[in-house]
Structure 1
Amino acid sequence: MMSESFESFEIRKAEETDADEIFGLARDFGLTFRPERAAFDTALPRILADEDALVIAATVDGRVRGYLMGYVHLTLFANGCVAWVEEAMIQSEYRRQGFGRALLEEFESWARSRGAGYVALATRRAPGFYKALGYEESARYYRKVLRPAHR
């Protein structure tokens, strides 16, 4: 339920022409890493071309106001595929308007069509949002930042 009405609100697959707006949102997303434009410009076309990846954009009047990037991959434990949301970001002034919900529902539909048994993600910013959409806390998230090897 959007509290504000947007006449041209749309969820669609992201395109390379969305790069500038998605990069701006990705900069806001990064806490540990600071996205660099050259790395972003190398990665985006590869991700968009990956059949096991989906990048979708929430647009208002043709401008990207949010995006979600995720993957479907095979597992050994789940008897097939699972889906993972890697990044989800909504521009701050467009939060609580239904964009996040619409992006996640679109991703879930895509994951289901790819045979995924479930969708998972890690978050520290919006646990209440995900719980309201039926997600449950399942595990702790651990990570180790890898530094480039010295040559």
Structure 2
Amino acid sequence: MKRIVFLAMVLVSALVISCNNGGNNSQQLPFGRGGGNGPGNFDPQAMVDRQIADMDERLDLSDDQEDKIREIMEENFENMAAMREEMQNSGGGFEGMREQMQKVREEQDNKMKEVLSEGQWEEYQVMQEERRQMRGQGRPPQN
């Protein structure tokens, strides 16, 4: 009898585990949201979508602005990924990459400033500062 109960518990546990893991493979989560920070959970497109949705909510973006901002962000992700890959392949130092990434962020900000109105730009800067503070505290951004 104990053996039957034990086997039933093992079967139920296996079923629960497989159900919980089954949905994670079909939908990747943006970096730092939910399933951990591993490489399998980073989906740049989902992150861009989320950031644009946040910006639209706070800045009331036009369709044209959304399109331009999407291009800027996607280009930025590509540049950052290329830099990370270059650093990994060359064994380069983190400091050098950090400086390069800072330049890429500054370029992105300059492009964003061209797309946004003065009031939107000011609010965008507030959003960026909030994100920096949240990253410093180790908490993921809230929707």
TM-score of the superposition, structure 2-length normalised?
Answer: 0.33
Q: Of Structure 1 and Structure 2, which has the larger fraction of its residues in strand? A: 1
Looking at both structures, which has the greater relative contact order when contacts are Cα pairs under 8 Å and sequence separation is at least 6?
Answer: 1
Q: Of Structure 1 and Structure 2, which has the larger fraction of its residues in helix? A: 2
Larger radius of gyration: 2
TM-score of the superposition, structure 1-length normalised?
Answer: 0.32
